């Protein structure tokens, strides 16, 4: 089981700030996880499609789509951050 946390506009669009999910067979990277979440349909698909430059973290470290994930990981998904 992994812990997925949604931040900023993703949290608002999905309607929750976190969830725990069992990793399906074959979902072993962040990119595969995002594809799996999107395939769940609304509201995940709309939220993820509205965030084309999705940022991801695995266990509090920024990561890329090809980063491997496994049971027990905490995954953060958030839109790009800008500052002034």
pLDDT in tens, 10-24: 999 999 999 999 999
Q: Which domains does the chain have, with CATH numbers?
A: 2-78 (3.10.20.30)
pTM above 0.95, yes or no: no
- Written as one string, the DSSP assignment of 4-57 is EEE-HHHHHHHT-SEEEEPPPTT--BHHHHHHHHHHT-TTHHHHHHT-TT-EEE
What's the rounded Cα separation, in Å, for the pair 2 and 80?
A: 23
Predicted confidence (pLDDT) at residue 81 exceeds the cutoff of 80: no
Distances (CA, A) of 63 to 4, 11, 12, 29, 66: 14, 19, 22, 10, 8
Whole-number pLDDT of residue 11: 96
């Amino acid at each position: 089981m992994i812990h997925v946390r949604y931040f900023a506009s993703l949290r608002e669009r999905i309607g929750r700030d976190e969830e725990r999910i069992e990793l399906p067979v074959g979902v072993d990277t962040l990119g595969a996880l995002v594809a799996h979440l999107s395939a769940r349909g609304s509201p995940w698909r709309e939220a993820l499609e509205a965030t084309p430059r999705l940022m991801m973290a695995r266990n509090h470290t920024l990561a890329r789509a090809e980063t491997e994930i496994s049971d027990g990981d905490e995954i953060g998904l958030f839109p790009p951050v800008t500052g002034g």
